Amino acid sequence: MNVNLYTKDVQNLIKEIQNYRGRDLDRVLSVCDKVENYGREVSDDALIGFACFSRGETYYLMNDMRNFYAQMLACMTPMERIGEWGYVVMANNMLGIMSLNRGNAPFAMDYYMKALNYCHTYKLPDLEWIVHMNMGALYLNIEESQKALDHLENGYHYIMAHPERPDYFQNLMTAYLGMAKAFLNMELQSSAEKYSEKIHKECRPYLSPLDLLVVDCFEARLCREQGEQKRFKEAVDRINEGILRDVPIMDIFDDIYEYLKMLLDADCYEEFNRIYGVVQNLIEQTSIKNMEKKLLTLKIRYLKKVGQMNEYNQATIQYFEISEQMEKENRMMVTSMIGMRNSLNDLVAINREVKQENLALHRKSEIDPLTGIYNRYKLNEYGEIAYEQACKNHTSLAIEILDIDFFKQYNDNYGHQAGDEAIKEVARMMQKMAGSGNIFCCRYGGDEFVIIYEGYTKNETLKLAETLKEFINEKKIPHAYSKAEKHITISQGICWGEPTEQDMIWDYLKTADGLLYQVKKISRNSIRIGSMGDV
């Protein structure tokens, strides 16, 4: 949208919207009305679309989801007519967020896929990463942690490549936090802790109170999982001091919901009731029944736990009434979606593109583009097959997780390009060792790698792992900022055993992750090998 095409008066109105966005919401709504009225007088789609989008964005911040939904739909047709695809992408992206909060993940996916399609078609990488981050949140919401990681890493790579952005640290925090949640859901606590530490060391001083609230909600959950009572209480105290009352609840609902659920499980009833009331008031403003319903399930659980049966019975009746209202809301969403799709000229072609995009995402390359070795996608497939074969043939299997010691310090002091070269060198040494046969290597993410050893004894596995360590030590890649050696080293955790049908490949991976965590707490540049249950 070229603002310079308009008169000074119109330019001033547009600048007023941009300057007061998120600060003076009533003023922005008033100016949007003026811009739209002028746009309709002169039949200018750009002004009409901009006014509707800005108005919708403002209603989002006000938690007024009915008006937000109507305005975002209204902005798309004029913006499509003039080819303002960036606004179309962001409208679809925000509608995806709303659909997910309304409990309709398929609709949310549809909106996100259309947004990605526009990004690919019209070359909009500066928006594409945002959609990937939200798709990561969607997969976290439906507990598909592996798929969530894939989308979050896509967004993370863009963020890391653009440190000049004013919101760099906020975006980096969002990526780290999403990956930490995924690892916690997969019960890989040491990996979750690793990303939590990254937030504290790299991002925390730059975060807003709302960002800090979200981080502390996760911190409390993680500390409880780890049994760290002191850190848990500190996080809860920070949340009690920092809970905000005028915030866009859709941006933080999942975080607050998981936190409240954890408080219930921990029998922290005073903290639960304090925050529940604040969140309930915010959700009532949105009129989103799915969020009301999810929150009410926690209240019902609480009332049952404390034995308040009269209130419990009333809450269950309210739950039934909300469920009925949700059916009407979903019918409205379906009607709006059909109307929007029918307004597009080639519905069949667009549906075909969406399906193709879905297939492309699920058939993503199995090769890590930086190192040339396999990535996490291939690990999923290969690991399951290797585990089944070991069970069937009663042969041994070992899973190793390794990472580069003090890699953050290396990256910070030598630069990201040198960091990438170090990661590639470790991958090359792994490929060299894999020539022994029946050894699978992949990059797990960042500076972490996974190795699967098939059919080796415990001693043979340990010798192979030591050989890899020697390969890397012999390279003597300078690392003056390491506390282990003055060159790059690795730490390794290995789970070895004979698989049974009672366990899964991820149980081995979780144990290896725990053993690596023990190595890094005690020392670096060393190996810990154990069996299931050793952590």
Condensed to tens digits (0 to 9), the pLDDT of residues 274-322 reads 888 888 888 887 777 778 888 888 999 999 989 999 998 888 888 878 8
In the prediction, which pLDDT does 339 show?
A: 47
* Rounded-to-integer distance, Cα 364 and Cα 153, Å: 13
In the prediction, which pLDDT does 429 show?
A: 92
345 pLDDT tier (thresholds 50, 70, 90)? very low
Would you say domain 84-357 falls under CATH 1.25.40.10?
A: yes
From the number of C-beta atoms within 10 Å of its C-beta (0-12, 13-18, 19+), residue 163 rates as exposed
Predicted confidence (pLDDT) per residue in 207-230, tens digit: 998 899 999 999 999 999 888 999
If we measure between CA atoms, which residue out of 29, 9, 33 comes closest to residue 20?
A: 29
CATH 1.25.40.10 domain locations along the chain: 84-357
Third-level CATH fold of 376-530: Alpha-Beta Plaits (3.30.70)
End-to-end CA distance of the chain: 58
In the prediction, which pLDDT does 328 show?
A: 61
CATH 3.30.70.270 domain locations along the chain: 376-530
More confident residue, 1 or 28: 28
In the prediction, which pLDDT does 105 show?
A: 84
pLDDT exceeds 90 at position 33? yes
Predicted confidence (pLDDT) per residue in 79-99, tens digit: 998 999 999 999 999 999 888
348 pLDDT tier (thresholds 50, 70, 90)? very low
In the prediction, which pLDDT does 341 show?
A: 45
In the prediction, which pLDDT does 363 show?
A: 46
- pLDDT, mean of residues 240-248: 71
In the prediction, which pLDDT does 321 show?
A: 81
pLDDT exceeds 90 at position 420? yes
Strand pairing category for 439-445 and 397-404: unpaired
- Is the sign of the CA dihedral 71, 72, 78, 79 positive or negative? positive
492 pLDDT tier (thresholds 50, 70, 90)? very high
* Residue 275 φ/ψ, nearest 5 degrees: -80, -35
151 pLDDT tier (thresholds 50, 70, 90)? very high
pLDDT exceeds 70 at position 333? no
Residue for token pair 């090769």 = 367
* Rounded-to-integer distance, Cα 376 and Cα 368, Å: 8
Q: pTM surpassing 0.75?
A: no
How many residues are there in the chain? 535
Query: In this structure, what token pair is assigned to residue 95?
Result: 């509608």
Percent with pLDDT over 90 in the chain? 56
* Residue 496 φ/ψ, nearest 5 degrees: -115, 145
- pLDDT, mean of residues 438-452: 93
Read off the DSSP letter of residue 486: S
Q: What angle do CA 46, 110, 154 make, to 5 degrees?
A: 90
Query: In this structure, what token pair is assigned to residue 497?
Result: 């055993």
Mean pLDDT of the chain: 87
Residue for token pair 């990004």 = 119
